[in-house]
Structure 1
Amino acid sequence: MTADLRHLLGLALAIVSFVGTIVICALPQWRVTKIFQQSSIIASQMFTEGLWKVCSTFSAQIVECKEYEKTLVPIHQDLEVARAFTVIAIIMGVFGILLGAAGSKFMNFVPDERKRSKMAMASGVVCLIASIFVLIPICWTTTTTTIQDNYNNFLPYGTLKMEPGTSLYIGWITTALLFLGGGLLCSSFICQDGTD
């Protein structure tokens, strides 16, 4: 695979993972808490927590989504840290994509070949750092959700179930794509002769 193709593929993966980072930031599905009645196996009430709001669902219909500041429900510490890390990852993703586009041979922003390849390397490094900023809150929230669910299993009535939400699964995929895109952008810098 030539360095130009690696650069283009890495940039495409960075753009897709940037969109994924925006999606996990916006979705209110980081943690799902289901409340079961003692005589039923179907959840009677469900709460989904996101970075910006919490939603309550009754009988499979969304009743209400409110921001944390407008409710009595406090935001968990892991979600508060995830909020900051995800916003930082989005900002870094913008810079990574702009550096990658400016360092591309297909766009003639920088005429010097060496400067272009250095911009591609910087783009890859920024994408790799952004992937770490997505990975940390995803791991932390997954771990705390699992620990809290295991603690809730020891309750005598056993009616509370906590699960990872959709945003965490999208976050794992986004992290993998960011790592792969950043690696491809960095490897396009290493192959300066245009071939392997």
Structure 2
Amino acid sequence: MGSSGVQIVCVFLGMLGLVGAIVCCAIPRWKVTAFTGQTIVIAQSVEEGLWMNCVVQSTGQQQCKKYDSLLMLSADLQAARGMVIISCMLCSLCLLMLFAGADFTTCVESESAKAKISLVAGIGLILGGLLVMIPVSWSAHNTVRDFNDPLVVASRKRELGACIFVGWAAGGLLILAGGLLCCFSKVKSGGSPGAAKYYSNGGASAPNKNYV
């Protein structure tokens, strides 16, 4: 069936988006800067993430430190923590639902129930994609604004890290997967469930209308 192929593609896209969201949550590459020391020529790269910041020397040595307090983070990173975590949990749940209600599985027998489950999973994937796109775009906006602000000290300016672009890609994949599910999940309406159940038992249970 065509819907089965679409659901397989959506599962693949959803898993890629979920992996991207997990990478954004775990890797400290939201904000990156590079500068050269004034006394000794030592190139350093400062990397900031949701949970820690790292200083990478030109020799390859890396030192990471977790944030001492949540209040030390900027507003965009504070919101990003909750949104990205909720997105990962929501997308994982939606993918499990999609596996259970997909046409290529037999966990659910009812066709109408499968369509409803796929529709709910699609809506959840769209919400999960938005929960990734919003904090990533917010952080990117603040980073670009501070970089172009002449009042910000040069050593405090940051550039867009790799997690920003990974987050945009992950959010786009999740929204695409959810949109495809919503478009191809057609809930069938018509006929009462009781009547369908009655006639599905076989011809012996069907009433004989030839009797007077």
Is the TM-score greater than 0.5? yes
CA gap of 1:39–1:117, structure 2 versus 1, over 3 A, is same
Unmatched 5+ residue regions in structure 1? none
Say whether the 8 Å CA contact 1:124–1:181 is kept in structure 2: yes
2: CA distance, partners of 1:137 / 1:62: 30
Unmatched 5+ residue regions in structure 2? 189-212
How much has 1:160 moved relative to structure 2? Answer: 5.5
Q: Deviations over 1:46-96 (max 9, x none)?
A: 2100011110122252331111128xx932221111111000000101111
SS of the equivalent of 1:146 reads helix
The residue that corresponds to 1:52 in the other structure is: 51
Q: Read off the aligned partner of 1:132 and give its amino acid letter.
A: L
2: CA distance, partners of 1:180 / 1:43: 44
The residue that corresponds to 1:118 in the other structure is: 116
State the structure with more CA Rg: 2
Moved more, 129-138 or 73-82: 73-82
The residue that corresponds to 2:193 in the other structure is: none
Q: Deviations over 1:138-180 (max 9, x none)?
A: 11000000011111x566x856642110101111110110111
Say whether the 8 Å CA contact 1:3–1:187 is kept in structure 2: no
TM-score scaled by length of structure 2: 0.80
Q: Read off the aligned partner of 1:11 and give its amino acid letter.
A: V
TM-score scaled by length of structure 1: 0.86
Report whether the alignment pairs 1:166 with 2:165: no
The 5 A counterparts of 1:25-104 are 25-37=25-37, 44-69=43-68, 74-104=72-102
The residue that corresponds to 1:137 in the other structure is: 135
Q: Which has the higher contact order (CA 8 A, sep 6+)?
A: 1
Q: How many pairs does the alignment contain?
A: 187
The residue that corresponds to 2:19 in the other structure is: 19
Larger strand percent: 1
Say whether the 8 Å CA contact 1:33–1:48 is kept in structure 2: yes
The residue that corresponds to 2:197 in the other structure is: none
The residue that corresponds to 1:181 in the other structure is: 177
How much has 1:44 moved relative to structure 2? Answer: 2.5
